[in-house]
Structures are given as C-alpha cells and as structure tokens.
Amino acid sequence: MKKLLIISLTLCALNGFAQRGKETLKKDAIDYKYRVSFPAIILGNIGKGGERTNTQHIEFHVKRQLDSKNIIGVKFATWRLFQPMGIQWWDGLLDKIDSETEFYPGYLRETGIGVTYQRMLWKGLFASVEVLPQYKTYLDLDNKKIANGFKLYTSYHIGYHFAFGKKKQFFIEPQFHCNNWIVDTNTPEEFKQLDNRWKSYFLFEPNLYIGIKF
C-alpha cells in the first residue's frame, strides 16, 4: 500500500510538471512566434556617405518559428560592391582594400529577396542556409548604369543564439558563414576580368545579427 501511494504521488507530480512544460512551450510559441533581425555590419556604413568603400549594405530578416527546432524566414538584402567578393582573407583582402589594386571601374549593386531555413541543434547552437536570387546593376564611377545581370547567392551559417531581457525577447546571434554564387550572368568585360582572378565563393565571414522576437 505504501509503495502504491508513492508511485501514485510520483505519477501525479510528473504529470503536473509535464502540463506546466506544455503550458510554457505553448506560451513561448505564442509570445515568440515571429522575429526580425539585421546584421550589425550595416551599422558600420552609417556616416560614410559617398566613400568609395561604402558598401551601402541594408539587410533585414523576418522569420517564423515553426517549433522548438525549425525556423523559416524571408531575407531582403541590397549592397554595393567596389571589388570582387571572392577575394579570401588569406589572399590579402584587407591589404587590397588599402591598396585599391582590385577595385572595379565602378560599382556592382546587388539586390534580392530570398528564403532562409534555420535549425536549432543544441541549446542556442544553430545552423542555417539562405538562398538569395539577386538582380545586379553595374554602374560606372558617376553612378551611371552600364549593364544588368542575375546572380544566385547562397550562404551557409553556423552560430549561437543568445536571448536576453526580462522576457528573453531580444537576441544576438554571433556566427560564421560561407557564401557562394555559382550562377552569375551578364557581367561586363572590365568587371569580369577582375572577378575571374578570384573565387566564386567566400569562406569564414564573421557576423553578428541583432534581433527581437514578438
């Protein structure tokens, strides 16, 4: 009889914890179904105006959390390139910016809307993939259009999600990502000659995303 009473109380306690867990998960799912974020790198362009190396980077993500592991989203991004994106860190990327030896004879503006998928792996650790079709506009140094083209830009991310605030509504996501663009059409010859010296991918780009859940 005593063992039966202990088992019964244990089952009741476990059932209570399970119900509380379900209620918490359900409440979190309601509270944090959506999220908006942007990369901190875009803040570095503020105040640079018409500087040659100003990428004029704007990027926003709107995501929906399907469950505790899976998050899908939409990505909008636009930026202006002043030299090929495929120059790697070990190729002297920063030195080439200082020397201006690989600068385009103008600019490349890329703009697109794409999709993202984020998978939570363990606690805050996550992996994600982003696919961004881009419309390309080539400009000379006077910002006059030279040509248009298309690029399919994809990126693969690994990072960690840190939530903070009273309701854990705000978050940051430090991460590394690798980017590639196998499809890249209608590049003007002067730009193409520079692109062909380098890769059609970029490895190990560090970034920090800032966001809010609602």
Residue 186 zone, left/alpha/beta (φ > 0; ψ -120 to 50; rest)? left
The pLDDT tens digits for 147-198 are: 999 999 999 999 999 999 999 999 999 999 999 999 999 999 999 999 999 9
Band of the pLDDT at 79, cuts 50, 70, 90? very high
**Cβ pair 209, 173 in contact under 8 A:** yes
Whether the pLDDT of residue 142 is over 90: the answer is yes
What is residue 32's predicted lDDT score, i.e. its pLDDT?
A: 84
Kindly provide the residue ranges of all beta strands, DSSP E only, lying in the chain, ordered along the sequence.
34-39, 58-65, 70-81, 107-122, 125-139, 145-160, 162-164, 170-184, 201-213
Indicate the pairing of strand 70-81 with strand 58-65: antiparallel
- The Cα 171–Cα 51 span in angstroms is 31
Domain boundaries, the chain: 1-30, 32-213
% of residues, the chain, pLDDT over 90 = 81
pLDDT of residue 39: 97
Q: How confident is the model at residue 5 (pLDDT cuts 50, 70, 90)?
A: very low
pLDDT of 157 reads 98
Count of CB atoms within 10 A of residue 33's CB? 13
**What pLDDT, in 10s, does the model give residues 17-57?**
344 444 444 444 447 899 999 999 999 888 777 799 999 99
Asked if 115 contacts 130 with a C-beta cutoff of 8 angstroms, the reply is: yes
Cβ contacts of residue 200 below 8 Å, gap of 6+? 86, 180, 181, 182, 184
Specify the DSSP element, H or E, that contains 94.
Answer: helix 93-99
pLDDT at 48: 78
Q: Does domain 32-213 have CATH number 3.40.718.10?
A: no
Residue 6 is predicted with a pLDDT of 38
Work out whether the CA dihedral 148, 154, 160, 164 comes out positive or negative: positive
